[in-house]
Structure 1
Amino acid sequence: MTSFGIATAPQQVEYADVLRVWREADEVPEIEHAWLFDHLLPIAGDPDGPIFEGWTLLSALAARTRRLRLGLLVTSNRFRPPAMLAKIATTVDAVSGGRLDFGIGVGSRPSHPLARREYAAHGLPFHDTGRATDSLDEALTVIERLWTEDAPFDFHGEYVHLDGAYGNPKPARRPPIMIGGRARATLRVVAKHADLWNIPGGDLADCVARSRMLDDYCAEIGRDPAAITRSLHLGVSYDAPEATREAIDAAVAAGFSHIVLGLPAPWPGGVARWVADELVNRSPAHRGT
C-alpha cells in the first residue's frame, strides 16, 4: 500500500503560512503524513532570510493538528546530543498524541556550503562524514534505549558518554524511525535501526541501486529487507502536475511505497486539496490501494 505525505521547508515563510498548509492537509485524508526539514539557516533563497527551528515548529504544529503523522525529514544528528534529542522527540510525541515519525540522518553534506555555514554560525562542530555516520549509530542505540528501558543506564561508546541516562515519560509507543540518506555507510545504519528509509530524490535508477544495497546490508545482519519501508522525496511542480504524477508512478513501480511530496513556497491557497486531487487521486498507485 502506498502512502502520501507533504514536506514544507520552513524557510523564507511565516509561521502562519506553514500552519495554514498543515491544517489544510490535516483535513485531507489522502495526505497521511507531513514533514519539515532541519536547518538553522536557509539553504535556498535569501541566505539571510527567515527560517524556523524544526523541532520547536513541529511541536507547535503537532498541537494544532489531529490526524497527520509528522516528523522532520530529517533531523541532523550533528545539531543535538542524542539523549536531549530523545527527550525532545518524546515531548513532541506526547503533544501529538503518538503521531511522531522520528526522522534522523547524519546531517548536512560537506559539499553543501549553504548548509555547512550554519554550524559555524551556531558554534557547532562539523565533523567528518565517517565520524558523523558512526556517531549516528551510537545515537540511535541510545535513543531507542531511552524510549524503552525501565531503569537508568550508563553508556560509554566512542562518541556518546552517558551516566544514569533515563527517559521518563516514554513515548506512547516507540516512534517509527526513518533514516534519510544514500551513502553506503548510512545504509548500514539504516539496515540496523530503521523502520523507514528515505532517499532525497535524484536519479531513480540510482535510488533503486541504493535500495538493493540496503537489501544486501540487511541480509548481512539477518534482517528481513521488507521490514524497512522505502520512502522517496519528490519535488512538486504546480505548473506541470503530469510530470509529478509520472515521477510518483515510476517511484512506486520501483518499490518506493512511502512518497513525500515537496511543496515549493509560496504555497497556494488550498494546496493540500490540490495535491490530493491532482497528484494522489490521479495516480495509479493510489487507485490501486
Structure 2
Amino acid sequence: MTAPSQVAFRDLLAVWQEADAVPGIEHAWLYDHLLPIFGDPLGPTFEGWTLLSALAAATERLRLGVLVTSNRFRPPAVLAKIAATVDVVSDGRLDLGLGAGSRPDVPFARREYEAHGLPYWDSAEAVARLAETCTLLRRLWTAEEPFDVDGEYLQLTGAWCSPKPVQRPGPPLVIGGRAGRTLRVVAEHADVWNYPGGDVADASARGALLDRYCAEIGRDPAEITRSLVVGVDYDDPGRTRDHVAEARDAGFSHLVLSLPAPYPEKVVHRVEDEVLRM
C-alpha cells in the first residue's frame, strides 16, 4: 500500500511497477482521501480512483484497489461506473475496497468534506447507505436492462452500467471497518474484510463478532477472507516480520504492507528480502 499523499506520481509509479515484477506481492493499494491526513496540510494528495486507473494501465499482474473507498465521496451509481472502467482497464484485476467513509480516529480528515461540499452523515446513516451501495453495485454490474431504484437513500431512474466489469458477477468487495454496524454489512456483502489498522488482538476480537453475525444470517464465515494492514519499518524489519507472523497466526491471510514515503531504492525487493523471505 502506498498512500497517494505527500509524494510524487513518478515515485508511486516506480514502486507499483517494481511490485508488479515481484511474484511474492499479490496486490497493491491506494487510499481514498481528498486532502492530506498527515504531514503538510497543503501538500499534494491525488484523487484515488483517477490515480488507480493510471496505475492499472501501467501494470500487468497485480490485483489492485483503493483501501478503502469512502462511500461518502461518490454517488454509488457513479462509483459502479468508475469501478467497471478500472476493471476493464486492468483486464479484471480490480478488488473494490469500500467503507462507510472517514476515519473517526483522524479528526483532521473531517475538513475534506467541507472543502469539497460533501455531506457528512452520522455513522448510522453512513453504514445504512453503505449497505444500499453494496446491493446496487452488484445489481448494476449484472443487470441485463435498465432498472429503477426506490431505496431508503437511493432513488434512481433507468439505472444502467455498460460496459460491465471483466470479472463476473463483478470485482470482489473488500469492505473495511471495525464497528458493529459495519461488520453486519461485511457479513452480508463482503468477499474480504479489512480491519482498519494493525492491532491484531483487537482485529481478532472484531473477527469473532463478525463470525457471530455470519452465523445469524446463515453464512459460512470462512467465505470471508480476513485482511490486515501491517506498517513496514525500514529500520527494523524484524519488527515487521513479527507483526506479519502474528497476523498470519491469527488467521489474517490478506496482508497489506504499508510502505511509508520516501521510498528507499528498490523498496519492494528490499521488503521481499527482509520481511517476506525470513
Per the shorter chain, which TM-score range?
over 0.9
The aligned residue for residue 77 of structure 2 is 83
TM-score, structure 2 length as denominator?
Answer: 0.98
Alignment map for 1:256-267 (pairs within 5 Å): 256-267=252-263
Q: Does 1:212 align with 2:221?
A: no
Deviation at 1:276, TM superposition (A): 1.0
CA–CA distance in structure 1, aligned partners of residues 156 and 105 of structure 2: 32
**Identical pairs, percent:** 65
SS of the equivalent of 1:44 reads coil
* Counterpart secondary structure, 1:29: coil
Cα distance in structure 2, aligned partners of 1:202 and 1:257: 13
Relative contact order higher in (CA < 8 Å, ≥ 6 apart): 1
CA offsets per residue over residues 191-225 of structure 1, 9 Å max, x none? 01100000122432111010011111111111110
Q: How far apart, CA to CA, are the structure 2 residues paired with 1:257 and 1:203? A: 15
Q: Which runs of 5+ in 1 are unaligned?
A: 1-6, 283-289
> 2:132 is matched with which residue?
138
Q: CA separation in 1, counterparts of 2:198 and 2:5?
A: 22
Matches within 5 A, 1:108-257: 108-173=102-167, 174-257=170-253
Contact 1:41 1:51 in 2 (8 A): yes
Query: 1:201, 1:79 → 2: CA distance?
Result: 21
Q: State the 1:111 CA deviation.
A: 4.8
Q: How many residue pairs align between the two structures? A: 276
| Aligned 8 A contact 1:196 1:229 in 2 | yes
Q: How does 1:259-278 map to 2 (within 5 A)?
A: 259-278=255-274
The one-letter code matched in structure 2 to 1:8 is T
Q: Take 1:14 and 1:177, find their aligned partners in 2: how far apart are those partners?
A: 29
Offset from partner CA, 1:256-283 (integer Å, 9 cap, x none)? 000000000001110011111111121x
The secondary structure found in structure 1 opposite 2:207 is: helix
CA displacement at 1:152 relative to structure 2: 1.1
* Cα distance change, pair 234–111 in 1 and its aligned pair in 2 (3 A): closer
**Alpha-carbon displacement from aligned partner over 1:160-190 (angstroms, at most 9, x marks no partner):** 1111111111111110110001000000000
Question: What secondary structure does 1:163 align onto?
Answer: strand
1:264 and 1:130 map into 2 onto residues whose CA distance is 33
Contact 1:200–1:234, Cα closer than 8 Å, also in 2: no
Q: Distance in 1 between matches of 2:134 and 2:40?
A: 34
Could you tell me how far apart the structure 2 residues matched to 1:57 and 1:117 are?
22
Partner of 1:70: 64
Amino acid at match of 1:274: R
Are residues 1:28 and 2:22 paired? yes
Asked if residue 59 in structure 1 is aligned to residue 53 in structure 2, the reply is yes
Question: Which shows bigger deviation, 38-47 or 196-205?
Answer: 196-205
Segments of 5+ residues of structure 2 without an aligned counterpart are none
Corresponding residue number in structure 2 for 1:50: 44
1:17 aligns with 2:7: no
> Does 160-169 or 234-243 show the bigger shift?
160-169
Aligned to 2:136, the other structure's residue is in SS state: helix
- For residues 34 and 72 of structure 2, the distance between their equivalents in structure 1, rounded to whole angstroms, comes to 12
TM-score (norm 1): 0.94
SS in 1 for 2:234: coil
Equivalence map 1:97-116=2 (5 Å): 97-116=91-110
Conserved? CA contact 2:198–2:228, under 8 Å = no
Rounded Cα–Cα distance in structure 2 between residues aligned with 1:150 and 1:231:
33
Q: Aligned partners of 1:27 and 1:278: how far apart in 2?
A: 17
- Amino acid across the alignment from 2:21: E
- 2-structure distance, mates of 1:109, 1:129: 11
Stretches of 4+ aligned residues off by more than 3 angstroms: none
1:287 match? none
Quick one: distance in 2 between partners of 1:74 and 1:162?
24
Structure 2: distance between partners of 1:149 and 1:224: 26
Q: Which has the larger displacement, 201-210 or 94-103?
A: 201-210
Distance 2:147 2:35 in 1: 36
- Residues of 1 paired with 2:270 and 2:233: CA distance? 12
